[in-house]
Amino acid sequence: MSLQTAQDQDVDLPTSLAALRCNIIKRIPKSSRIQVAQALTHTTIVEVSLCRLVQLMLSGKVPDTVCPLLYGASLCALGKKAGGIRPIAVGSTFRRLTAKVCVRRVKERAVQLLSPGKFGFGVRNGCEIVSHTVRRFCAFPHTSSQIVCKVDFKNAFNSMRRDVFLDMVRNHFPEIYSFTFQCSTNVPISFLTATVA
């Protein structure tokens, strides 16, 4: 694993449980720039340790006592315009980094599996293409009545059956199953970090 994955992470997300922002990881220089004589600098130790942690998480062998911290989230309560609170959960930077490694490993096969009906993953500008296509379709003068139906499932992720999801991952992407299983079977710890009006 290279630090390119870490360097691609979004830096504007709130701090996670580990109090580590991705922009800190981005500041780690690439080991290829370090001479062999300086190979054991603190930066290299951090880089190697980070790679070992990601490999441990990918193997699904994180000790149970640590799982709630690595797979937990910080909660940020955002105020809604109409009143009320919208809780936003921001997962651990380490979990998000490992998940990004997983996505890179299975992206091509996932796109083939989900095609042609899904455009939200692995298709560059997929949702925008669908949006513009529907807009053009609606603006085009038709000789007969046409119907456009948009379905938005409320909280679809939390209403799915996790056992079915895990079976799909095991069958189609076995190399990320251990990580996915450990993420989805541990009860995460969440902390309220801020409230924004």
Task: For residue 16, name the pLDDT band (cuts at 50, 70, 90).
Answer: very low
| 182/85 Cα distance (integer angstroms) | 30
Q: In the predicted model, what is the mean pLDDT of residues 127-152?
A: 83
Contact 93, 9 (CB under 8 A): yes
Contact predicate 6/97, CB 8 Å: yes
DSSP 8-state code for residue 23: H
Residue 25 has a pLDDT of 55
Q: Could you tell me which residues are beta bridge partners of residue 76?
A: 88, 194
Condensed to tens digits (0 to 9), the pLDDT of residues 164-188 reads 989 999 999 999 999 999 988 876 6
pTM of the model: 0.66
Under the banding of pLDDT at 50, 70 and 90, the label for residue 145 is confident
Instruction: Pick the closest to residue 17 from 92, 75, 88 (CA basis).
Output: 92
Domain count, the chain: 1
pLDDT tens digits, 31-66: 444 443 354 455 567 778 888 999 999 999 999 888
- The strand order across the sheet containing 190-196 reads 85-91, 73-79, 190-196
Assign 25 to helix, strand or coil.
helix
Find the domain containing 58 and state its range.
Answer: 4-196
- 3-state class of 185 per DSSP? helix
**Is residue 151's pLDDT more than 90?**
no
Asked if the model's pLDDT at residue 137 lies above 50, the reply is yes
In angstroms, the CA 98 to CA 124 distance is 22
